[in-house]
Structure 1
Amino acid sequence: MGGITASGGYGLPMRTRLMTAAVSTAALALGLTACGSSGGTTESGVSLVKSGTLSVCTQLPYKPFEFQQGSDVVGFDISLMDELAKQLGVKVAVVQTPFEGIQSGQALNTKQCDIAAAGMTITDARKKVIGFSDPYFDATQALLVKKGGAKTLDDLAGKTIGVQQGTTGEIYTKKNAPKNANIRVFEDLGLLTTAVKTGQVDAAVQDNGPLLDYAKTNTDTEVTAEFDTGEQYGFGVSKNGGDKLKDAADKMLSEVKDDGTYDSLYKKWFGQAAPQS
């Protein structure tokens, strides 16, 4: 999911270009409980599960897209959600929930949140249960290992490969890894990367964005390969009544592309200029 090269460049062409304002902080709502019972509607007609609040489902950590910084949840996705909330005239509240419930549509259908911002690839299977915004980030899969480890998936014959539950990385690995590789599934990215660092697994396959970010600050690990899967991230809304919120998200993405906010946010969170199409 990210369009980044193993040398550290965020390289696949981006279909949308955006730009920045200061990042407002988002309140962290823990657990799987619903965001609130008193719904509301914005002036533009967008229905929300909690009046005055854009409730955003995500799973932490997924740096630099969403992660905890002190008492706040921040990151590229959250900054874009701040832009959407500004457009709607509401505040952002982040709801942390397992990715499986996000990508299955359950979190949206049970009104735990209004929108999902979780570095989520748009797939045909997910489009059956989730309404997606326009794409906002190009991505691919990558291989994270301890320094000096495997260079390709084929090098992992008879070895253990870690993946995150419910992700396109899990699907790709099960389809393309050597038949005698042992695939171990982890609930979140933090557990997955820690497993590589501590030697619980020989490698991990996940989106290139978070893996390259992890390797930058954990120099005993490295990304040795990327697999061009042609993925794109989208924000998810409920297929039952989420059309107006999808339209608002698309409008926000178009505006931040045009006014330069996307480019600034990209630079802030990825440390380099956004790739130009």
Structure 2
Amino acid sequence: MKQAVVAAVAVAGMALVASCSSGSAGASDENGAAGANGSYGECEVFGAKGSVKLKPATAGELTVQTNLPSPGWWKGTSPTDITGGYEYCLAANIAHRAGLPKVNVQNVSFDALVAGQTKGYDMAMAQISVTPEREKVVTFSAPYFDSNLGVLAPADSDVTADNIRSKKIGVQVGTTSVDWAEKELKPSGAPHLFQDTTSMVTAVTSGLADVAVQDTAIMLGFAKNSGGSLKVVGQYETGQHYAAIYEKDSANAAAINDAIEAMRKDGTLDKLSAKWLGPELGGDPNAVPVWSMK
């Protein structure tokens, strides 16, 4: 899902700068919230320092691979200037709980990452959806973000969970929303297929489609750029998730999984979403109402 999210956010008008070459960063803490807990840029950390036991790939730091740029998820465009973002601050919280004062960011190819071809890291995060195909070649962590399908509609629309099946549904060719609309939602009329997200959203604006259904984070970006004319009115849980990737046979997998689950339970993941995704996307994905099939 990573590449689709970045492309859509770019179309939505969020300025992106091409990423620099791979490297590492331990962000400056002059104004960061981490304070004495470590050097984690603008990230606020929670939980007990040293409560997680890790054997990092490089002593004294948590090495994290990603694919840049990635607005909202990583604040900055190259490893040397990352200071915040949902995934970076999630890594910072793991580092804090492991007693590691630094997060080492490495920028790698997304395709190589999901193919299990990169080495020398503790965990990798790049809005990577867990799929059976990827599970054959990489090891996934416990999930840290639910990848739901958002319903984008005109702000003054009367679309609800009760009447959506009677509406003209727009979906993008090649996305999971096509099968979902045809097999799960089952609208009264065949879904309208569009070759790209922009034309799908334009169809909603023009009235060719009543709603567009796509990843909630993507739809929020387009709603933000619409000047108030569009709104993400609801979302459906799909059972899909973003998760980190570990190297095969990672000795740290169990400990990091426990840390992620602890952050889910203590509200840290919700705090990260509200702080980093809400402002960038124009709304917190977790705050969009969850609809059920009627």
TM-score, with structure 2 as normaliser: 0.54
Instruction: Tell me if structure 2 keeps the 8 A contact 1:146–1:197.
Output: no
Q: Compute the RMSD of aligned alpha carbons.
A: 4.6
Task: State the secondary structure of the residue aligned to 2:152.
Answer: strand
Q: What is the DSSP-based 3-state SS (H/G/I as helix, E as strand, rest coil) of the residue aligned with 1:136?
A: strand
Deviation, 1:109, is 1.9
Cα distance in 2 for residues equivalent to 1:193 and 1:61: 19
Within the candidate set 179, 201, 205, 1:196 is matched to 201
* In 2: Cα distance, 1:244 partner to 1:182 partner: 45
CA distance 1:78–1:210, shift in 2 (3 Å): farther
Q: Distance in 2 between matches of 1:112 and 1:34?
A: 13
Contact 1:115 1:236 in 2 (8 A): yes
- The number of residue pairs the alignment matches comes to 221
- 1:207 corresponds to which letter in structure 2? D
Distance 1:155 1:255, change over 3 A: closer
1:176-226 CA-to-partner distances (Å, cap 9, x unmatched) read: 3576733425xxxxxx46973697996654322453365256423222453
Amino acid at match of 1:196: V
Structure-2 residue corresponding to 1:265: 272
Deviation, 1:83, is 1.5
State the Cα distance separating 1:245 from its structure 2 match: 3.5
> 1:119-198, aligned counterparts within 5 Å?
119-145=127-153, 147=155, 152=164, 155-156=167-168, 161-162=171-172, 170-174=175-179, 176=181, 181-185=192-196, 192=197, 196=201
Deviations 1:20-52 (A, max 9, x none): xxxxxxxx9936x6658xxxxxx943335x994
Q: Of residues 81, 85, 90 in structure 1, which corresponds to 2:91?
A: 81
More strand, by proportion: 1
| Equivalent residue number for residue 253 of structure 1 | 260
For structure 1, the residue ranges without an aligned partner over 5 or more in a row are 2-27, 37-42, 186-191
Query: Is contact 1:34–1:112 with CA below 8 Å preserved after alignment?
Result: no
Unaligned runs of 5+ residues in structure 2 are 2-16, 25-52, 183-188, 288-294
SS at match of 2:256: helix
The answer on whether the counterparts of 1:46 and 1:244 sit within 8 Å (CA) in structure 2 is no
Give the whole-Å Cα distance in 1 for the aligned partners of 2:172 and 2:200: 8
The structure number with the bigger radius of gyration is 2
Residues 110, 180 of structure 1: alpha-carbon distance in 2 compared, 3 angstrom cutoff: same
Q: Percent identity?
A: 20
Do 2:65 and 2:105's aligned partners in 1 also have CA atoms closer than 8 Å? Answer: yes
Find the aligned partners of 2:129 and 2:262 in 1 and give their Cα distance.
22
Residue 222 of structure 1: which of 228, 231, 245 is its match?
A: 231
Superposition map of 1:22-41 within 5 A: 30=19
Instruction: Give the distance between the partners of 1:230 and 1:258, measured in 2 at CA.
Output: 18
1: CA distance, partners of 2:172 / 2:179:
11
- Counterpart among 236, 247, 251 of residue 245 in structure 2: 236
- Distance (Å, rounded) in 2 between the aligned partners of 1:245 and 1:162: 38
Q: Using the alignment, how far apart are the partners of 1:122 and 1:51 within structure 2?
A: 29
Residues 175/127 of structure 1: CA separation in 2 closer, same or farther (3 Å cut) = same
Change (3 A) 1:182 1:126: same
